[in-house]
Amino acid sequence: MLSYTLKRLAIAIPTLLILIVVSFVLMHAAPGGPFTSERELPPEVLANLNAKYGLDQPLWRQIVTYVWGIVTQFDFGPSFVYKDRTVNEIIAQGFPVTLTYGILSFVVAVVVGVTLGVVAAIRQNTVADYFAVGVSIGAQVLPNFVMAPILVLVFTLWLGWLPGGGWQGGQWQYVIMPVIALSTSFMASIARITRSSMLETLTMNHIRTARAKGLPERRVILRHALKPAMLPVISYLGPAFVGMITGSVVVDVYFSTGGIGKAFVDSALNRDYAVMMGVTILMGALTILFNLVVDILYGWIDPKIRY
């Protein structure tokens, strides 16, 4: 178990380094620097700016400085556009918001999705099953950027129940729509995966044994069928996490929740490379960390996995 974890860790760290180096090289290979604008800057000013941000150093030295700053002090450097702000400040401002509704969405997607899938599987070919299958097919074409305007249309403009945007320190009225918009398509995928894997599990021998020895159906499902049926769901959690992190950008832009995604899009439009890289690397680190947890969880649940 320990060596398995270590092996996974040994892949995770180089992955992160590759991500940092690749985005850094991409940034420097791009035509035009971060200070290219419509108004041509005098060369002396440009040289000063480059010197201030360390862009006059050789590439390898810049990379080393950058990586060193992140590893030792968790410092992503200054923003290229906002003269008085560092990337850390920009991230620190939005990250708690993203984290709040992100975690909520994730929990909602998993809990609702698994419940829906299990119910559909044990009531196969009933109304409940058709409902669950219908929802999961429909939600395939309802990604977050489609859900968001539809939700606002229905709940803000027609019914007037919920505010159409804002965050207000995370009061529940402001959290509901971002969470629904972000979780729906993943909830549907999880429901679909759970259903098919539960159906398969229910035909296994150990379930027949459990039933034969007279266990109540509830116990058969919850104690004996659920755990093996969760394996495909767990391996989907990694991609779902990436999808949600990505989708949070849409939520931040559309609902003005003020999360980190808004900072990313703004920096993309401003060509503020430092902020873009900071966010990309942070999100990459989160993803890699999460995949690590999923791998370990998988190894713990599935006894067949080789350490």
Partner 1 sequence: MVVNQQKMRALSDRLAEDADSPGRSLWADARRRFLANRAAMTGLAMLVLVTLFALFGGTLAQWSNEELDYTVMGMVAEEGGPRLDNGHYFGTDELGRDLYARTVQGTQVSLLVGVVGALVAVSVGTLYGAVAGYAGGRVDNAMMRAVDVLMSIPYMFVLILILVMYGRSMTALFVGLGLISWLEMSRIVRGQTLSLKNREFIEAARATGVPAATIIRRHILPNLAGVIAVYATLLVPLMILTESFISFLGLGVQEPLTSLGALISEGAGTIAYGTIWQLGFPLLFFVLTLFGFFFVGDGLRDALDPKDR
The Cα–Cα gap between 275 and 261 comes to: 11
105 SS3 class: helix
Overall residue count recorded for the chain in this entry: 307
Q: Give me the torsion for CA of 192, 102, 147, 189, rounded to 10°.
A: -10
C-alpha angle 245-246-249 in degrees, rounded to nearest 5? 100
Of 41, 55, 112, 288, the one binding partner 1 by CB under 8 A: 288
Per CB under 8 A, contacts with partner 1 among 4-43 are: 11-12, 14-15, 18-19, 22-23, 26-27, 30-31
246 binds partner 1 (CB under 8 A): yes
Of 109, 152, 229, 237, the one binding partner 1 by CB under 8 A: 152
Cβ within 8 Å of residue 221, ≥6 positions away:
118, 122
209 binds partner 1 (CB under 8 A): no
Of 176, 234, 242, 296, the one binding partner 1 by CB under 8 A: 242
Size of the site for partner 1 (CB under 8 A): 46
The Cα–Cα gap between 149 and 158 comes to: 12
CB of 3 vs partner 1, minimal distance in Å: 17
CB of 288 vs partner 1, minimal distance in Å: 5
CB of 151 vs partner 1, minimal distance in Å: 10
Q: Residue with structure tokens 């180089």?
A: 14
CB of 79 vs partner 1, minimal distance in Å: 15
Q: List, in sequence order, every beta strand (DSSP E) within the chain.
A: none
- Nearest Cα to Cα of residue 267 among 80, 94, 22, 55: 80
Name the segment binding partner 1 (CB under 8 A); options: 42-50, 115-123, 140-148, 167-175.
Answer: 140-148
The Cα–Cα gap between 14 and 296 comes to: 18
106 binds partner 1 (CB under 8 A): no
258 binds partner 1 (CB under 8 A): no
Of 108, 132, 148, 225, the one binding partner 1 by CB under 8 A: 148
CB of 24 vs partner 1, minimal distance in Å: 11
Q: Which long-range contacts (C-beta less than 8 Å, at least 24 apart) are formed by 288-297?
A: 288/12, 288/15, 288/16, 288/19, 289/12, 290/237, 290/238, 290/241, 291/12, 291/238, 291/241, 292/8, 292/9, 292/12, 294/234, 294/235, 294/237, 294/238, 294/241, 295/8, 296/4, 296/5, 296/8, 297/234
- Which CB sits closer to partner 1, 127 or 269? 269
Per CB under 8 A, contacts with partner 1 among 259-278 are: 264-265, 268-269, 271, 273, 276-277
User: Interface with partner 1 by CB under 8 A: which residues?
Assistant: 11-12, 14-15, 18-19, 22-23, 26-27, 30-31, 140-141, 143, 145-146, 148-149, 152-153, 157, 164, 238, 242, 245-246, 249-250, 253-254, 264-265, 268-269, 271, 273, 276-277, 279-280, 283-284, 287-288, 291
